[in-house]
């Protein structure tokens, strides 16, 4: 009898999967079944047959409607070498997950679709962000683990461009920064040398200071 009750649970976990969330305080909220967000909250409202250029443009401009009558600047992800190929070892790039609670959406990946824009491609595009002080949550990850990093009071100034990157050392681990940059035209846009870091406006932010989520 007990087996009959247990079986549906085991099957649902097996087929649906579950997530374990770990907070920076070490609190683990374990084995929750995945509550997937509705598609319209995760993905841009664009036809899957739209061109790659249109999808990229929509990604870049998506926050404009949320901040009417405001000036905008741009932010992108440092073009790390790991983002220049796409296979099972390609990490999920550092991308803005929310800005002041507004979700930054991405283009939906369509199986066998020829006009897909990968996350690594989107991350290296200039996303328009409003000038002024803002609270960000940045997401990144590798395989089934995602790290959510909160950065409060980031001051974006007009006329400057920003890049999200990381510093790594054995002592401190992975620390995020947001920096002003200039470009070096001698290199291609997808090469790390293309970005010349000028001034870090935020640095030393511990990766995953909000939470780590692992999907089983």
Partner 1 sequence: MSEFTKSVFKLGLLFSILVSSGCVRMMLPTSETQLIQQSVDGGHKIELEMNYVDAYANLKRAYDKCVAYRSRVPNDTSYIVIDGQLERDKHQATIEAKANYGTYVSKVNLKELQDGKTLLTLYLSKSKLLTENKNAELSQKRFVQEQLRALGNDPKCN
Give the residues lining the site for partner 1 (CB under 8 A): 184, 186-187, 191-193, 196
In whole angstroms, how close is the CB of 84 to partner 1 at the nearest point?
Answer: 11
Q: Which is nearer to partner 1, 6 or 196 (CB)?
A: 196
In whole angstroms, how close is the CB of 178 to partner 1 at the nearest point?
Answer: 19
Cα separation, 196 vs 208, in Å, equals 25
In whole angstroms, how close is the CB of 21 to partner 1 at the nearest point?
Answer: 37
Cα 29 to the center of its chain, rounded Å: 22
Tokens describing residue 164: 């999200």
Q: Which is nearer to partner 1, 153 or 185 (CB)?
A: 185
Contact between 112 and 67 (Cβ < 8 Å): no
Cα separation, 72 vs 53, in Å, equals 21
Q: Which is nearer to partner 1, 70 or 188 (CB)?
A: 188
Q: Which is nearer to partner 1, 192 or 204 (CB)?
A: 192
φ/ψ (deg, to 5) at 120: -65, -35
Cα separation, 78 vs 50, in Å, equals 27
In whole angstroms, how close is the CB of 195 to partner 1 at the nearest point?
Answer: 11
């Amino acid at each position: 009898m007990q087996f009959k009750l247990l079986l549906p649970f085991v099957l649902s976990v097996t087929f649906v999967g579950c997530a374990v969330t770990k907070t920076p305080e070490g609190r683990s909220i374990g084995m929750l079944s995945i509550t997937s967000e509705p598609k319209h909250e995760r993905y841009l409202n664009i036809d899957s047959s739209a061109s790659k250029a249109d999808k990229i443009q929509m990604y870049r401009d998506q926050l404009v409607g949320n901040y009417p009558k405001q000036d905008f600047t741009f932010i992108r992800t440092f073009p790390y070498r790991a983002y220049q190929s796409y296979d099972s070892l390609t990490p999920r790039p550092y991308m803005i997950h929310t800005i002041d609670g507004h979700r930054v959406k991405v283009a939906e990946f369509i199986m066998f679709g020829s006009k897909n824009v990968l996350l690594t491609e989107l991350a290296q595009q200039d996303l328009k962000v409003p000038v002024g002080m803002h609270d960000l949550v940045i997401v990144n990850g590798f395989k089934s683990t995602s790290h959510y990093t909160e950065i409060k009071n980031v001051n974006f100034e007009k006329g400057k461009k920003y890049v999200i990157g990381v510093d790594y050392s054995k002592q401190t681990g992975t620390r995020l920064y947001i920096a002003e940059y200039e470009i070096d035209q001698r290199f291609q846009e997808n090469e790390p040398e293309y970005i010349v870091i000028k001034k870090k406006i935020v640095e030393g932010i511990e990766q995953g200071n909000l939470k780590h989520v692992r999907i089983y």
